[in-house]
Amino acid sequence: GDVGAGEQIFNANCAACHAGGQNVIMPEKTLEKEALDQYLAGGRSEKAIISQVTGGKNAMPAFGGRLSDEEIANVAAYVLASAEAGWE
Ligand code: HEM
């Protein structure tokens, strides 16, 4: 995925709930490295992020159909790169 394109998609579609890699609805389920390891189904990987973004989970809406597969791959690449970098 294209991290730079993913950042714009994140800001437009995800930041309302996940600004700075946090989670305003379920505070423990952040997008930080350790939280992805602990909570994300399938573990910390681009594939697992793509799966959750496409299908949604509980209070998180599904983006399949609203974003293209390419856009979802790009935003997943951005989330993973940002988690690895500590959301600095
Ligand atoms: C969880 C990404 C949009 C609410 C997550 C997780 C990821 C993620 C990777 C797993 C984090 C973890 O388990 O620690 C994204 C991306 C988005 C997006 C890339 C945009 C395309 C949103 C929006 C909302 C939201 C707009 C609020 C309306 C949540 C909630 C969870 C979550 C509540 C926890 C779900 C659960 O396990 O019950 N998100 N998210 N997300 N997200 Fe999002």
The answer to whether 57 touches 49, Cβ cutoff 8 Å, is no
C-alpha dist (Å) from residue 31 to 55, 65: 17, 23
User: Which residue, judged by its Cα, is nearest atom 29 of ligand 1?
Assistant: 60
Q: Is the pLDDT at 88 greater than 90, yes or no?
A: no
Cα 81 to averaged position of ligand 1 atoms, centre (Å): 16
Q: Taking the model in full, what pTM does it have?
A: 0.98
The two tokens of residue 41 are: 């189904």
* ipTM score assigned to the predicted complex: 0.98
The predicted pLDDT at position 12 comes to 98
pLDDT band of 23, cuts 50, 70, 90: very high
For ligand 1, say whether the CB of 50 is within 6 Å of any of its atoms.
no
Residue-wise pLDDT tens digits, 24-76: 999 999 999 999 999 999 999 999 999 999 999 999 999 999 999 999 999 99
